[in-house]
Structure 1
């Protein structure tokens, strides 16, 4: 009797155990994500402007329901492509992070379509104490002479800094004092900037990265700086009309004629041994 009861309890325990295992398996299957896909990621940290090599790439399993937008799956097609954004290790690669196929490495890969790169000479003051770093936006001020007056005026706004000296990395935040800064501009802006540095001195003004509002100003002169307006230049005195000048000249000639002494003519008269002079 006791053995039969013990066997019954063991059978019930086995049944309950199998039921628990089946329920747990079903729950786990519901929690498991869908099938994984292999995508191409960076095998190491890669800086922008670098050309990808096989050692920089690897494939990594990624859940199919959370694939990054534009993720690439064929690493063979990426060898030789140039990055236009820095990537970290195990970061997925996409076309948005790559320069167009056939682009050479270096600074030229970072220039946007339709833009140009131009370098200006700076110092610790002009370069905002070294805080104008790659990836920042700056305004450009020129100080020059206009109409014999000194004036400072913003000539270009929201200009992207591509590189400082020969460095293009955008991950550093420590200021760097350099002697040259390379800027990304349109062809028209390149012409204006080249003219501005030939007629005056340039200064860079660091601006907020997310502030697109223009800084519309009239420029600063000595008058506006000191709170006084420069006196306007008086026009030259007008010449009198030619018609009115003639009578004045005539009157002047009359006055001169009347005021001058009248000339007298004299003749000598001889009568015998006497000699006299008569004046008319």
Structure 2
């Protein structure tokens, strides 16, 4: 009797336990869709300009409360799209990081709408010792002759560096000395830059990434560069005063001079004469 009662209590406990597990599982399944969502992220590190493939994409659960702005959910629609910025593994993808649909891969995918890409030849000095890397902004100075005088003037400001040599990656911070830099410019800026490199020599000036203020200058000439220094270094020359002659020379000059003569006028009738003694 006692064994039967113990077995019935145990069976009842098992039934209640299974019911509790079933209810808890059902509750958790109902809560999961409300608290997380699947979004598309990069399955591996992908550089800008690359075309996305299926192997580069995956879906992961992401908390609904902190979904990234513009996060994408359907990875199948992203196959074949081109990145215009580098992404890291497990980084969410969005339209802001993708070139327009139909864009071919490579440098052309990085050029903003209405802009152009132009390449200028540089050396280790002109290229800011290799610190002008893709993604940086530079100003461009031209040194030329104007009205028979040398002048250096900033002709273009806040120009985006698209590539150095044949590299467009923006993840490196180590300087690279190259012989060419590709810049993103407007059509008008492209014309000015082409004219500037034909009339003088170009230099790149690396600028702060977040500083939008223009550098308004009149340009530097030899006069403005050295004018104040030359004025201070060259004293005014006083007017030369006549040097008095020595006493002996003055005496000789006085002796050589003819003696002074006194003259009187004589009137004789209608004639008038002058006699000197």
The TM-score, its normalising length taken from structure 2, stands at: 0.71
Mapping of residues 100-119 of structure 1, within 5 Å = 100-119=100-119
- Work out the CA distance in 1 between the residues paired with 2:130 and 2:225: 27
Which range is displaced more, 191-200 or 33-42?
A: 33-42
State how many pairs are aligned.
213
> What does the per-residue CA deviation read over 1:16-42, in whole Å, with 9 as the maximum and x for residues that have no partner?
xx9xx99xx8xx97x989342211111
Give 1:229 shift. 10
Corresponding residue of 2:67: 67
Give 1:228 shift. 4.6
- Work out the CA distance in 2 between the residues paired with 1:65 and 1:229: 66
The TM-score, its normalising length taken from structure 1, stands at: 0.70
Mapping of residues 118-197 of structure 1, within 5 Å = 118-197=118-197
Corresponding residue of 2:270: none
- Work out the CA distance in 1 between the residues paired with 2:72 and 2:32: 24
Moved over 3 A (4+): 31-35
Which range is displaced more, 148-157 or 64-73?
A: 64-73
- Work out the CA distance in 1 between the residues paired with 2:94 and 2:32: 27
Give 1:136 shift. 0.5
Aligned-residue RMSD, C-alpha: 2.7
Q: What secondary structure sits across from 2:37 in the alignment?
A: strand
Q: Is the 8 A contact 1:36 1:63 kept in 2?
A: yes
Can you give the 5+ residue segments of structure 1 that lack an aligned partner in the other structure?
Answer: 1-13, 231-280
Q: What secondary structure sits across from 2:204 in the alignment?
A: strand
- Work out the CA distance in 2 between the residues paired with 1:219 and 1:126: 18
Q: What secondary structure sits across from 1:227 in the alignment?
A: helix
Distance of aligned partners of 1:33 and 1:102 in 2 relative to their CA distance in 1, 3 Å threshold = closer
- Work out the CA distance in 2 between the residues paired with 1:32 and 1:109: 39
Give 1:217 shift. 0.6
Q: What secondary structure sits across from 2:211 in the alignment?
A: coil
Q: Is the 8 A contact 1:33 1:63 kept in 2?
A: no
Q: Is the 8 A contact 1:33 1:65 kept in 2?
A: no
Q: Is the 8 A contact 1:34 1:65 kept in 2?
A: no
Can you give the 5+ residue segments of structure 2 that lack an aligned partner in the other structure?
Answer: 1-12, 231-277
Corresponding residue of 2:214: 214
Corresponding residue of 2:40: 40
Q: Is the 8 A contact 1:34 1:63 kept in 2?
A: no
Q: What secondary structure sits across from 2:227 in the alignment?
A: coil
